[in-house]
Every structure is written in structure tokens, then in C-alpha cells.
């Protein structure tokens, strides 16, 4: 007998015809709901009842089960030992979608949606087709129940462009909400001018004058996706566009700067961007050749230079894709990746993976679920959000149906609870699903369009609020000192270790006391950087140094030194050495 993290019981027994069977409880609230699966057709007969004939193990990182058992291989002369693993026979915990599945209106089967819960109501934006042109429409409801949705109105008067690259056609817009400063932001390509614009609204209905960011150069397919990110509580906003570009603003979109992500090929696929204090720019993308390698890129100098990290290499095959790129509540980048194990876009078996970066800069992946899909022209863009650092997401599952998943974990390893939202209506190809969370009522909501062009909405009770974190970040170090100053290094850097649960320490240097160049390589239980000095400093420059402890649950606050000033030139003796501080 074993238990999954969500409380599901599973056990392996000798069943009918003496074959081994796995039994799983599929509903933790009702022990009578079970799923019975025959493991093998090898007989376990003639094993004495006092012997342990079967054993079971559950891998929490992969959601697989492993079963060992003694049985007859068919010879009838002896007992043999067998071992088998599977992920398909383990049921996942279900989220109960509470009957609020609503049919709102008709739309195109490739419509993009953006669902936002703000100021006590659901704001449902979608791309609607009128006289051959796409427009951003809005309908609202306080509870999402059928019959309560308002008549759709135009969010903005201008029609929007679509990205056309072969058979791909995406209505190009995105809308986000900054809850801390209570304003909406909208970006879209205006079809009449080719301008990618940005505008804001205090209520999500009435929008200000649009600000031009970029003008499309007329090369079909280069419009690609547009996506936007706000940093809560600030005026920082970023927008990803074309295949390799990012626009960013530090004054709520009044003025903009742009950058081409230098590490990318001009035809690589940029799937999402983010922005954090600094500002630091973030992006997630896949290589253009076969979409089998996924990267994270960041810049700390306003997009002048970029550094990249490999996040995930697809298990096999090509045409895997990033479905979503989002910064979590702790300003850590995360990716939702569809890893196609066989086939290509069209018919494939895919594992949905959640990739997250820890505070020490390393990436880990956790399995959300596996599915079989059969799109002919392209796939569906999923959506992901966070309550704090707890992820939730809507994505396409088996037979192209809409699935939902969430985790109450805030750091790797993440364990997800998944469910099918609507097992009767497939999601429309080339569409974009969306999800939002009402923390006051602990309710998750999703929006999507079906392959018949029907806008759908559903809610479920999902408590991400009261579930406490499993652990916490370490206690911060103290007593930090720096000495042994030269022109380009600090020889001695000490601190007091006040925790016993850190995985290591992050050492950082800064020339302004705000933006630090961090190094997470110091091991746990250390109290200095010895025997290595802090090197690479600039002569005659003022520096600040800080140190923080980290583990899987986060990073402590940092202990900071008073400012230190490096020497103007190397000291060889007392008389030739002076400091220009």
C-alpha cells in the first residue's frame, strides 16, 4: 500500500486468475471510487500466503509506479521475479468543475481569449470576426453563470492584424491587469496602419490614446505572437513581439525602449517575456530548426547584452513548443512546455512540463500531465498564472479537450492536481486559452473557444490561499565584513551563518547598492569566501557587497556591507600606496 502526495491510496494485489492487479482510489473523498488495472498476465499461483509476492513503489518526481512481483513465466517449473513501470495506470486527482460551464457567444475557432478577474467581475476579452476583420470584444459577468454575461462591446475601435505564416493565423493582441496599481494594459497590431500599440484603462472598458511602439515592416509571418507582462506594484511593463524582440517601459507605457534578443536567430520562436526590478528583462524561446530545445534569456543592461540558459531538451522528435512563459510571485521565470515524444504537429503524444528556475539559478522540470492530441493545422496556446508562487494553468489535454492543473507547492519539486474541464468539446485550433484566479472566493476560472467556434467559461473551487508553504527560506546571515582591498579584488569576505537549512549562499557585488551581480556557488555552512577572493572589480570604484542564504523555498534577506572603495593603483609599499576615496 502506498499513498500519492494528494492522498490517493494505491495498492497491488493478486487478483482474478492469480494475475497481479493495481488498484487506485480515484477520489480521496470516496473510498468506493477505485480504478482496477491488470498489470500482467503471468500467474502468481503456488506462492505461499505468508510470502511477500508483490511490492509497489511510487515516484513522486515522475508520477510513475513501479511494481515487483513473483510469477510463473509460463514454464510451470519455477517462480520468476518481474518488474514493471507505468505512468498510464495511475489516476490523477480530480478538480470538480462545479456546473458553471457557460456558453457565452459565437466566435471564430481560432479566437484568442484573455480572462481577467478584477474589481469583483470577470472580464472576458476575445477576438471576434466582423466583415472580414478581427476586433477585440469584451463581455463581463460578476459570477460567470449562464445568462449573466453582458452584451459584447468593442474594447477598442480599431481592427487588429493576424499573424499569417503558412497555415498559422493568430489574432494578435494581449491584455494584462496590474492589481497593485489597478490599471489594465492592452497591446495589439492595428490592421489599418501595421502599428503595434499600447494603451491603458482604469476599468478595462474605456481606453486612453494609443501609443505607437513599433510599425510592422510588411514581411508576412514576422508579426508572430504578442505577449505582455507587468511587474506588480510598479510601472514596469514589457511586450514581446516578432520572433526575437522585446519592448519595455518604466513609466507605465508612456515611453518605450526596444531590444533584439541577440542570442536568438531571427526566426527562433519567442513565446513570452517578463520584467523585474532593475529592470531585468526575461524571455523564453525555442530554436527555429525543430523546436526541440528550449531556452531562457535575460538582460540586466536594458537589452544591450543577453545571456541564455538551456531549460529543456525535448525527449524525442520535433515540434515541441513552449505554451506559456510567466514570472511567478517571487519574480522567478517559469515555462509551460509541451514535449512531444512522437510524431509532429498534427498527431502526437505529448507530456506537459512545468519548468521553473530556483533562486540559485538552476532549472528543474515537473510533469503536469500526458496527453494525445490531433491538430491538423497547428496547436493551441495554453495559459498559466500564479497565486504568489503557486502555479495554475489551462492547457490542451487528451483528444484536444481543455485541461486544468494547479500545485500548492512554491518550489521544486512541484506536484500537480489535474482535471478535464470539458470532455465533450475540443478546443479550437490556433486559439489561445486563458485562466484567472479569484483569491477572495478561492475560485479558478478558465476561458477558451471550441472547435465549433463557441466561447466557453468554467469555474472551480481551488484553494491556493489557505494552503501553507511546506517550508521557508533560511534565516539571513549577519555580521558581514569585507577587507583586504586592492585595485581589483576583496581578499576577505566573512559572515555569520544563522541557519541550518540552507543549500548554499549567494554572494553579490554592486556599484550602486541596488543592482547586484550575484554568484550562487558558495556551499552550505560556509562563513567566508576563503580561500578565493572576490575578483574582477574595477579600480578606483565604490562597491557594496551582500550575502544571502537560499534553499528550495527561497532566499533570505541579504546582509550588506558598508560601501568599500577599490584602490586607484596597486600598492607595493607603504609610501607608494594611497586611496583616492
pLDDT in tens, 288-309: 665 678 899 999 999 999 999 9
Inter-CA distances, 242 with 79, 165, 182, Å: 63, 12, 28
Whether this prediction's pTM lies above 0.75 is answered by no
The answer, yes or no, to whether residue 166 has pLDDT greater than 50, is no
Domain 102-461: give its CATH code.
2.130.10.10
Phi, psi of 486 (to 5 degrees): -130, -160
CA atoms within 13 Å, Cβ hemisphere of 314 = 26
The answer, yes or no, to whether residue 546 has pLDDT greater than 60, is yes
∠105-110-116 over CA atoms, to 5°? 60
Print burial letters for 270-304: b (CB count within 10 Å at least 16), e (below 16).
Answer: bbbbbbbebbbbbbbbbeeeebbebbbbbbbeebe
Euclidean distance between CA atoms 103 and 450, whole angstroms: 10
Inter-CA distances, 545 with 343, 522, 528, Å: 51, 14, 13
Helix (H, G, I), strand (E, B) or coil at 573: coil
For domain 478-565, give the CATH superfamily.
Answer: Immunoglobulins (2.60.40.10)
For 469-519, how does the pLDDT look when each residue is reduced to its tens digit (9 = 90+)? Answer: 555 678 889 988 888 888 888 888 899 998 877 888 999 999 888 888 888
Euclidean distance between CA atoms 338 and 324, whole angstroms: 10
- Nearest C-alpha neighbor of 400 from the set 345, 318, 437, 324: 345
pLDDT at residue number 378: 63
For 429-446, how does the pLDDT look when each residue is reduced to its tens digit (9 = 90+)? Answer: 888 999 999 999 999 999
Write out the residue limits of the CATH 2.130.10.10 domain(s) in the chain. 102-461
For 216-270, how does the pLDDT look when each residue is reduced to its tens digit (9 = 90+)? Answer: 776 655 566 688 999 988 999 999 988 889 999 999 999 999 999 887 876 678 8
Contacts of residue 380, Cβ cutoff 8 Å, sequence gap at least 6: 395, 396, 400, 427, 428, 429, 430, 431, 432, 433, 448
- Nearest C-alpha neighbor of 458 from the set 101, 96, 94, 98: 101
Write out the residue limits of the CATH 2.60.40.10 domain(s) in the chain. 478-565
Termini Cα distance of the chain: 69
Choose from 48-52, 314-318, 401-405 the range with maximum mean pLDDT: 401-405
Contacts of residue 449, Cβ cutoff 8 Å, sequence gap at least 6: 107, 108, 109, 110, 111, 113, 126, 427, 428, 431, 455, 456
pLDDT at residue number 174: 94
Amino acid at each position: 500500500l502506498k499513498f500519492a502526495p494528494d492522498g490517493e491510496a494505491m495498492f497491488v494485489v493478486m487478483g482474478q486468475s492469480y494475475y497481479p492487479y493495481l488498484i487506485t482510489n480515484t477520489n480521496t473523498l470516496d473510498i468506493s471510487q477505485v480504478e482496477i488495472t491488470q498489470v500482467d498476465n503471468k500467474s502468481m499461483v503456488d506462492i505461499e500466503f505468508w510470502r511477500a509476492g508483490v511490492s509497489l513503489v511510487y515516484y513522486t518526481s515522475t508520477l510513475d509506479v513501479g511494481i515487483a512481483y513473483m510469477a510463473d513465466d509460463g514454464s510451470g517449473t519455477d517462480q520468476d521475479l518481474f518488474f514493471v513501470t507505468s505512468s498510464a495506470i495511475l489516476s490523477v486527482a480530480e478538480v470538480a468543475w462545479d456546473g458553471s460551464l457557460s456558453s457565452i457567444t459565437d466566435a471564430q475557432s481560432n479566437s484568442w481569449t484573455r480572462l481577467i478577474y478584477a474589481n469583483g467581475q470577470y472580464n472576458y476579452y476575445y477576438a471576434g470576426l466582423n466583415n472580414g476583420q478581427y476586433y477585440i470584444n469584451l463581455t463581463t459577468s460578476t459570477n460567470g453563470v449562464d445568462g449573466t454575461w453582458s452584451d459584447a462591446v468593442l474594447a477598442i475601435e480599431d481592427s487588429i492584424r493576424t499573424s499569417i505564416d503558412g497555415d498559422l493565423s493568430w489574432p494578435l493582441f494581449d491584455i494584462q491587469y496590474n492589481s497593485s496599481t489597478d490599471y489594465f494594459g492592452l497591446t495589439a497590431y492595428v490592421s489599418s496602419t501595421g502599428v503595434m500599440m499600447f494603451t491603458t484603462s482604469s476599468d478595462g472598458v474605456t481606453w486612453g490614446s494609443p501609443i505607437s511602439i513599433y510599425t510592422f515592416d510588411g514581411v508576412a509571418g514576422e508579426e508572430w505572437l504578442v505577449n505582455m507582462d507587468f511587474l506588480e506594484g510598479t510601472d514596469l511593463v514589457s511586450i514581446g513581439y516578432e520572433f526575437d524582440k522585446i519592448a519595455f517601459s518604466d513609466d507605465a507605457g508612456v515611453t518605450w525602449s526596444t531590444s533584439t534578443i541577440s542570442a536568438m536567430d531571427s526566426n527562433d520562436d519567442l513565446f513570452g517575456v517578463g520584467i523585474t526590478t532593475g529592470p531585468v528583462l526575461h524571455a523564453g524561446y525555442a530554436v527555429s530548426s525543430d523546436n526541440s530545445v528550449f531556452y531562457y534569456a535575460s538582460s540586466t543592461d536594458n537589452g544591450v547584452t543577453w545571456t541564455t540558459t538551456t531549460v529543456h531538451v525535448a525527449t524525442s522528435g520535433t515540434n515541441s513548443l513552449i505554451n506559456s512563459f510567466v514570472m511567478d510571485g517571487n519574480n522567478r521565470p517559469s515555462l509551460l512546455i509541451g514535449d512531444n515524444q512522437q510524431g509532429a504537429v498534427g498527431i502526437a503524444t505529448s507530456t506537459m512540463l512545468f519548468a521553473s528556475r530556483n533562486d540559485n539559478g538552476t532549472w528543474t522540470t515537473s510533469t503536469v500531465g500526458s496527453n494525445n492530441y490531433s491538430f491538423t493545422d497547428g496547436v493551441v496556446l495554453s495559459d498559466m498564472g500564479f497565486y504568489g508562487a503557486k502555479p495554475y494553468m489551462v492547457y490542451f489535454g487528451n483528444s484536444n479537450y481543455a485541461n486544468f492543473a494547479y500545485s500548492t507547492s512554491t518550489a521544486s519539486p512541484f506536484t500537480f492536481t489535474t482535471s478535464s474541464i470539458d470532455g465533450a468539446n475540443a478546443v479550437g485550433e490556433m486559439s489561445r486559452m486563458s485562466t484567472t484566479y479569484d483569491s477572495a472566493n478561492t475560485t479558478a476560472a478558465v476561458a477558451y473557444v471550441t472547435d465549433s467556434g463557441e466561447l466557453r467559461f468554467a469555474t472551480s473551487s481551488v484553494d491556493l490561499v489557505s494552503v501553507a508553504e511546506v517550508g521557508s527560506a533560511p534565516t539571513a546571515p549577519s555580521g558581514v565584513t569585507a577587507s583586504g582591498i586592492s585595485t581589483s579584488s576583496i581578499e576577505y569576505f566573512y559572515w555569520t551563518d544563522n541557519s541550518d537549512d540552507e543549500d548554499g549562499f549567494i554572494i553579490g557585488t554592486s556599484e550602486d547598492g541596488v543592482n547586484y551581480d550575484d554568484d550562487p556557488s558558495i556551499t552550505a555552512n560556509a562563513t567566508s569566501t576563503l580561500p578565493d577572493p572576490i575578483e574582477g572589480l574595477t579600480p578606483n570604484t565604490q562597491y557594496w557587497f551582500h550575502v544571502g542564504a537560499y534553499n528550495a523555498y527561497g532566499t533570505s534577506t541579504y546582509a550588506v556591507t558598508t560601501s568599500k572603495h577599490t584602490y586607484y593603483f596597486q600598492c607595493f609599499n607603504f609610501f607608494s600606496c594611497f586611496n583616492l576615496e
